[in-house]
Chain A
């Protein structure tokens, strides 16, 4: 194939062909210039106008926060749409004027409006949330003056709504906008709503879901022209807790007007059926816009409503501790059911005189009677027989003075002096009087109501100490299970079956014929122990007000539920705490009876 002319001409031919290519290329460049002329000069005005109008907004679409359910599928919280006032920084041409107008219109201080704005770049197209929970009236005001308020928009976001303001407040916890401190973790975006306490905080990663978003084009009036891209939000996961909403409600009702805590637990699994601390704080007030005064009032309130007394309150157990003394004495052989003591209302040890709570004493007492009547004199002597070390050892074995391992944060340890005889030299040496005090749950002993509930569950189930379970499982929106927790035994108390049986019998006697008769409920045999813990007077007015305890389980022969009631400075355990427990048992068992009847008739 002869493709090329002879060498003489070849160079010339090559040059010509390259020239042709160069000309072609130049023509192509000329076409480009022509297109640029068309776009920039001929169409330039129109394009310029387009670029001016061309406003793109990013509209976040909040993911609905996951719902928390009780064990029967009843919702503990829900979401409802709420209005949020937001700024789009880039669209606020004259932000001072806009902010001033808005401040007058809605009566919001200018400082509050500017606060959020200062934290984002001026040309951000992401809305900055300024105020949540806007009233319909305010929304109308803003919409009416839309034209005077460039860059101000009203967004609709799902917000938490609660059955009542304080329902299960400590358990659920409140949801608030992420604060500066939390922003530093780098996991959140400004304006995110996150759980700040309780289960909402514990499960926040599951509950929060993932925010979706829309990229929308708007015209100069802020009207949507088109949605350019939409990414659906990922709704938060649903949480099935172990709580029984009806029991929780009953417990809160029974505690209304009192300070203290109630823990209801299933001794067969460690499930927390109800957990309440009162006074509670208003969840709904903490969720939307919280004004500073309200917060300060909550924090400074002498009744400390923010504290979860069930696991953060540390109190002397009082006579409830006699269960430990009995268990230790019987198992170690230092006590026997037939031991008899005459109680004249006083016990003298050296120079010290210890009084019984009952003036004049209980008379002749055996161990069972001493538990039923909560005879202090009997236990002063029993405590000396058992010894401080052994009592402390058994207290530890039953989980007192140590965290229960519940998943809620901030749990306190309580205090059980570990080995009273081997205390560090710096402290006052342990004396026989300390042992006597300890035997009725006074002195240095401190426990939390949750620890007592766990202990009572162990008494009820024959020694199993559960890690209290609050969450059964977490289900993603698509139905997949993201997390499950089975019951977890953390410790086991090994006592002879005879001792367990004796304890159960004696505790039954407390309610049947002893100090706990106020908890008696026809049809259900309840086993329990009252406690009245002396307090150190904080002030004159509070002087002499004792903490009231009632720790119990039922039915006594087949324990299904543990109820621990603690009433702060309430008075006598039998008078104050036991009736509260009774009310709760009514709700648990009468409701069950009703359910069974309905089931049968249907």
Chain B
């Protein structure tokens, strides 16, 4: 099964891979510069090893026909929900949030992997009907698929991951041609459900949302992070301060500077021009993903490609949006940039899925 058809290699999407590795390279430089002058720090080595593991995942996904993956969706989904549940039992609490489970020496964040499983399950649910038409039952089914893990992830509490699932579902439904009227109804329903969602949120998550609406509500707590991130980004100005001058980032003004806030570090060091380059790389990656989705004929493949692309796009937009103060802080890593094993491995695996679909496009 792992034997790779030689023909497939001709169809590797090199621009997509190139953009991804360019971004990973920037991530490593960024992590290194957080601790310059002390050789290559442990952070960089660990991130490199995550990249290695992610590449293994990528190769495995490429070697497998994604259609087999979609067929296995129900099993994957149950496994995924099980993993999310296991966090409540085996979970490790980090700064008030239970998101990680221990697997030997590793800590894994199941919600990261679940994003991918969710996309695969969507592809399965929307294509397994006899007819090619979208029934009301299938539509309701997708919401159940979203709802179960959504509630769990929100309670975990990992609001960020949950919020990524919503645009993924929305984009997928739009892709398969849901009527505008139906979309309107659903949006109304979501707005109506918002007060309900408020009840589910943890106090600190409510605080974050309120602070977003009124930054001066809490200038010392949550808003401090936003203010410091904005100062870091802004002080990079057009050309950036370079590795040595990035005082904001290096001097621990920035919280979570190597994970969720790594963009602020990057922006301070490389300025607007650097940000432009990084964002162009991300746009290239995302547009390549949309291109693959658009040009795939096979229904499962194209829904999968669209979903995976949306996962990337949503995470990138939400992360940079929150670090630059456009969106509330919800705790989402920046794919391929943020330090962290789960995120890196899942991102590379997702990339593998896109490549795999691309390679089998013309079958």
Q: Are B324 and A228 closer than 8 Å at their CB atoms?
A: no
Instruction: Tell which of A18, A26, A44, A123 touches B237, judged by Cβ atoms closer than 8 Å.
Output: A44
A selection of 23 A-B contacts at a CB cut-off of 8 Å is A1-B136, A3-B179, A4-B134, A10-B132, A11-B297, A17-B175, A17-B177, A21-B290, A25-B287, A25-B313, A29-B286, A33-B279, A39-B233, A39-B325, A40-B236, A40-B238, A41-B238, A44-B235, A47-B237, A48-B234, A50-B235, A52-B235, A123-B251
In the complex the two chains form, is A47's CB within 8 Å of B133's CB? Answer: no
Contact A13 to B235, CB < 8 A, known contacts A22-B287, A32-B321: no
Q: A7-B132, A22-B290, A229-B220 are in contact. Are A45 and B251 (CB under 8 A)?
A: no
| B174: chain A residues within 8 A (beta carbon) | 17, 20-21
Q: From residue 548 to 599 of chain A, which have CB atoms closer than 8 A to chain B? A: none
Q: Does A110 contact B (CB under 8 A)?
A: no
Q: How far is the CB of A434 from chain B (nearest CB, A)?
A: 68
Q: Is the CB of A51 within 8 A of B326?
A: no
Q: Is the CB of A21 within 8 A of B235?
A: no
A90 at the binding interface (Cβ < 8 Å): yes
Q: Which 3 A-B pairs have the closest CB atoms?
A: A47-B234, A44-B237, A51-B235
Which residues of B lie under 8 Å from residue A22 when comparing CB positions? 286-287, 290-291, 294
A220 within 8 A of B: no
A90 and B251 in contact, given A36-B324, A40-B237 (Cβ under 8 angstroms): yes
Q: Which B-chain residue is minimally distant from A11 (CB atoms)?
A: B297
**Chain B, interface residues (CB within 8 Å), range:** 35 or more
B259: which A residues are within 8 A, CB to CB? none
- Whether B276 sits at the interface, judged by CB under 8 Å, is yes
| A571 CA / B134 CA spacing, docked (Å) | 112
Complex-state Cα separation, A7 to B176, whole angstroms = 12
- Kindly state whether residue B12 has any CB partner on chain A within 8 Å: no
CB closest chain-B residue, reference A28: B317
Contact indicator A3/B178 (Cβ below 8 Å): yes
In which size bucket is the chain A interface?
35 or more
By the criterion CB–CB under 8 Å, are B177 and A14 in contact?
A: yes
Given contacts A1-B133, A25-B286, A51-B247, contact A31 B293 (CB under 8 A): no
B237 touches A41 (CB 8 A): yes
Residues 65-81 of A, flagged 1 when their CB comes within 8 A of B and 0 if not, give 00000000000000000
Complex formed: what's the CA distance from A50 to B235 in Å?
8
**Which residues of chain A are near B283, meaning CB under 8 Å?**
26, 29
Task: Considering the complex, give the chain B residue whose CB is closest to the CB of A47.
Answer: B234
Give, as a whole number of angstroms, the nearest-CB distance from A334 to chain B.
Answer: 74
The stretch of B189-197, B224-232, B351-359 in contact with A is: B224-232
A202 contacts partner chain B, Cβ-Cβ < 8 Å: no
Are B234 and A46 neighbours in the complex by a CB distance under 8 Å? yes
Q: Determine how close the nearest CB of chain A comes to the CB of B209; give it in whole angstroms.
A: 19
Q: Known interface pairs A36-B233, A45-B237, A56-B253. Does A228 touch B220 (Cβ–Cβ under 8 Å)? A: yes
Given the interface contacts A2-B133, A3-B133, does A40 sit within 8 Å of B275 by beta carbon? yes
Q: How far is the CB of B211 from chain A (nearest CB, A)?
A: 15
CA distance A47 to B324 in the complex (A): 13
Tell whether, in the assembled complex, residue A4 and residue B235 are in contact, meaning their CB atoms are under 8 Å apart: no
Q: Is the CB of B233 within 8 A of A40?
A: yes
The answer to whether A295 has its CB under 8 Å from any CB of chain B is no
CA distance A401 to B233 in the complex (A): 74
Say whether, besides A1-B135, A29-B283, A21 and B320 are in contact (CB < 8 Å). no
Is B91 an interface residue, CB under 8 A from the partner? Answer: no
Min CB gap A27→B, angstroms: 10
Q: Is the CB of B317 within 8 A of A4?
A: no
Interface residues of B in 307-328 (CB under 8 A from A): 310, 313, 317, 320-321, 324-326
Q: Does residue A253 face the partner (Cβ distance < 8 Å to B)?
A: no
A43 to B272, CA, bound (A): 12
Interface positions of A from 49 to 68, Cβ below 8 Å from B: 50-52, 54, 56
Do A19 and B294 touch across chains, with their CB atoms under 8 A apart? Answer: yes
Within B264-297, which residues are at the interface with A (CB < 8 Å)? 267, 271-272, 275-276, 279, 282-283, 286-287, 290-291, 293-295, 297
A15 CB within 8 Å of chain B:
yes
> In the complex, A33 Cα to B290 Cα: how many Å?
20
Chain A residues, CB < 8 A from B271: 40
Pick the residue among A14, A41, A56 that contacts B302 (CB under 8 A): A14
- Measured between alpha carbons, how far is A45 from B236 in the docked complex, in Å? 9
Distance (whole angstroms) from the CB of B169 to the closest CB of chain A: 13
For A29, give its contact among B236, B247, B279, B302 (CB under 8 Å): B279
The docked-state distance in angstroms from the alpha carbon of A48 to that of B276 is: 19
State A15–B276 Cα separation when bound (angstroms): 28
Residues 217-260 of B at the A interface (beta carbon under 8 Å): 219-220, 224, 230-238, 247-248, 250-251, 253
Whole-angstrom CA separation of A28 from B294 in the bound complex: 20
List residues of chain B with CB within 8 A of the CB of A397: none
Which of B233, B279, B297, B302 gathers most chain A CB within 10 Å?
Answer: B233
A37 sits at the interface (CB 8 A)? yes
Complex CA gap A258/B220 in Å reads 61
State in angstroms the CA–CA spacing of A123 and B220 once bound together.
23
**0/1 string, A192-205, CB within 8 A of B gives 1:** 00000000000000
In the complex, A348 has a CB within 8 A of chain B: no
- Nearest Cβ on chain B to A28's Cβ, whole angstroms: 5
Complex CA–CA separation, A29 to B280 (angstroms): 9
Asked whether B306 is an interface residue with its Cβ less than 8 Å from the other chain, the reply is yes
* Chain A residues with CB under 8 A of B251: 56, 90, 123, 125
Please, how many angstroms separate the alpha-carbon atoms of A22 and B290 in the complex? 6
A444 within 8 A of B: no
Query: Looking across the interface, which residue of chain A has its beta carbon closest to that of B236?
Result: A40
Closest to B303 in A: A14
